[in-house]
Chain A
Amino acid sequence: MFDVYVPTVVLLPFVSFLVALGAGQYLPKRGALSGIAATGGSLLLSLLIAASVAGGQAYNETLYVWAAGEQFTLTFGALIDPLSALMLVIVSLVALLVHVFSLGYMNDEGEVGLPRYYAGLGLFTASMLGFVVADNLLMAFMFFELVGLCSYLLIGFHFREPGPPSAAKKAFLVTRFGDYFFLVGVVAVFATFGTAAFAGEGSFPALAEAALAGSTTVWTPGDLEVQTWFTVVGLLVLGGVVGKSAQFPLHTWLPDAMEGPTPVSALIHAATMVAAGVYLVARMYGFYALTPTTLAVIAFVGGFTALFAATMGVVKDELKQVLAYSTISQYGYMMLALGAGGYVAAVFHLTTHAFFKALLFLGAGSVIIAMHHNENMWDMGGLRSRLPVTYYTFLAGSLALAGIFPFAGFWSKDEVLYEALVHGLNDPLLLGGYVMGLLAVPVTAFYTFRMVFLTFHGEPRSETARSPESVRWNVKGPLSVLGTLAVVTGFINMVPVQKVLGLEGIDYLHRWLDNEWGGIAGLSSHHYAEVGPYSSAYLVGGEAGTVLVGAAVSLGLALTGLGVAWRLYDVPTPTEHTAALGGIKAVLYNNYYLDELQVWLAYRIEDIAGGADTVDQGIIDGVVNGVSSVSLAGGSRVRRIQTGLVSEYAAMLTLGLLALLVVLGLNGGWFL
């Protein structure tokens, strides 16, 4: 069954890409309907696959060998286990909703170039699904790159304006910078293990485990210790993750990428493409769990990014910019969870975040339609009564993002912080990540509700806000679906309730990822916890007490942030209040001048490149040119003996003959 279903899931959106590209011009909705049909089909098949996995099946097969060599075999294959089945459902669901939403956002708004748009969406969905089912690192890398290409195409959709092409290039180049390290990492994995398979007996996480236990040997460069080398490989692959998942310091592309159409932001920058990085770490978690240093780096970078991005979201004026920074921040939480050994927590947050962030982006898209493409929150206000569906769904998403009980984000963020806390009590670096993650909680709640209050509450502050354009079913439908999910997704994994009340078995996601219903040996959360380096420690009151304290603290902080936002911005005519920040405001507003720093670095590298160019042109090329001019000059002298006079040729022949005779004579000793 999987033999047919899995390739079909990936190929359906690809067919939609071809249809939109080839025939989109002649279709009634310019390719939207085929896209909806294809992603809908993918969603159905994904659900079937998930159901089969729940029925105890798993799949790990090579489907196509495209290069067979002496040492390596390069293949395409599919790996279906609880993690990839879950991700398939998320990706195809969000893609379907985004396609439907695009009918309202793109078709109804009379955009041109729609076949190109729907082709991009189709290819993007196909590559992301291909990435999710990839059974080896090289295939994952290839689809990872395709995803990057699609983001370039879609961000730069409005290529006639100045902003989008530049943002697209930036997104492409920054993620590509990370991907260089990833590519080297892929090669390193091949060189070390001779395989890049994710799962099974001969997979590289299994070999790495065996190598660390001493039961097998692997190649390492020089006399490097296995542990050290694994850390290096892990960090190399992490480069791609940091780029794609927009972690510090490669996060700068994501806010700019908001230049793309809003449904694209929802699809690429909230729910799926940025998720690729986190998903990759989760996919090869069996390898990362073996290298404590890499885990600590992941956790620290994640915690730092969570706080760092959240502070920048506080001062932004544009709706989508706030969401962009919240996305970076939330992916920081996922990385923190992965680094802290919270594999399930990270996947949980990935799931809930996919839903509530897609919801928020689509809600923002709805507001943008209503506001005639004005994204400045200071021109909005009072949209609550005019866009009720958008308001209530957006509110659900915001409560989830802020981590307010009992919305989805509360459960997942709480579990992330809990994992970081219990594992971090023995590990100062991890504890640092936890503290930063905790500090980001009130900031998140604050900027989220600043955004909600400025957009929907108070008095309308512009003419458009007084009489906004209404939106149709194709906008309200996806919002309602995602709004419901943002409320209920948290209930799939109520670990705190289980631990405090002692109810068994309501942590469905834990059981799902622990292969309780079926899966592949060696890819369970249980196994990861066994090979991982962490041990748990608890604060007062043991496990239940720690859970309660942690949840209470993070909920309290979130409510504090919400309260501050409420006091400051839920007034009829809110003011900026940012003057109180003084000099910090400019720093935050300019994103800590990181863009400037990167540009400065690029220029310094250009200087170095200029120096290298001088050396190349002057010295290396100088030597080559010198050699050639010597031959040229020599040639122009020597050719003078070609006088064209036949007598002189005869004379030279004779002289040559004489010279030969003399040489022969000297050699033969005739003259002695």
Chain B
Amino acid sequence: MVPVEWYLLLAAGLFCIGLFGVLTRRDALYFLMSVELMMNAANVNFVAFALYYGDLTGQVFALFVIALAAAEVAVGIGIILVLYRNFGDIDVTVPAEMRW
């Protein structure tokens, strides 16, 4: 059986890739994808610990997170759509109106 540390390393790697995407990309769609990656890192953790402790609660939570991610994508796509309508672009650095 694969030790739990490996799963955790995988999850940490996924999370860092997602974070890297969020911090460096300017395209809103990449943003959305990066956030998905970070959420799936969390899912991996849930499932890994569920296996480790022999408790199904973690897996149930993973299912919840998947549902939540679907909802989040729906909202996110909507936001991107509005972004495009208002600015003619989905570059997140263009709308900087909401500042001091």
Interface residues, chain A, with chain B CB atoms under 8 Å away: 639-640, 642-647, 650-651, 654
Contact = CB atoms under 8 A, between A and B. Distances in A.
Contact of A650 (B22, B93, B95, B99): B22
A651 B21 CA distance: 11
B100 A647 contact: no
A647 B99 contact: no
Given A650-B22, A651-B23, A654-B23, A644 B98 contact: yes
Interface string B60-100: 00000000000000000000000000000000110111111
A639 B99 CA distance: 8
B11 to A, nearest CB: 16
Contact of A642 (B23, B26, B99): B99
A647 B19 contact: no
B23 A645 contact: no
Interface residues of B, number: 13
Contact of A645 (B22, B31, B96): B96
A173 B93 CA distance: 71
B92 A645 contact: yes
A642 B19 CA distance: 21
23 contacts: A639-B100, A640-B100, A642-B99, A642-B100, A643-B96, A643-B99, A644-B95, A644-B96, A644-B97, A644-B98, A644-B99, A645-B92, A645-B93, A645-B96, A646-B31, A646-B92, A647-B22, A647-B23, A647-B92, A650-B22, A651-B23, A654-B19, A654-B23
B98 to A, nearest CB: 5
Nearest to A650: B22
Given A645-B99, A647-B23, A650-B23, 14 more contacts: A639-B100, A640-B100, A642-B98, A642-B99, A643-B99, A644-B96, A644-B97, A644-B98, A645-B96, A647-B92, A647-B93, A650-B22, A651-B23, A654-B19
Interface string B1-28: 0000000000000000001001100100
Contacts of A643: 96, 99
Contacts of A651: 23
Nearest to A641: B100
Contacts of A644: 95-99
Nearest to B100: A639
A651 B20 CA distance: 10
A647 B97 contact: no
Contacts of B26: 647
Contacts of B19: 654
Contacts of B97: 644
Contacts of B98: 642, 644
Nearest to B22: A650
A642 B98 CA distance: 8
A430 B4 CA distance: 109
Contacts of B93: 645, 647
A51 to B, nearest CB: 87
Output the residue of A639, A650, A651, A654 with the most chain B CB within 10 A: A650
- By Cβ-Cβ distance, the 8 closest A-B pairs, closest first, are A644-B99, A644-B96, A639-B100, A644-B98, A646-B92, A650-B22, A642-B100, A642-B99
A636 to B, nearest CB: 8
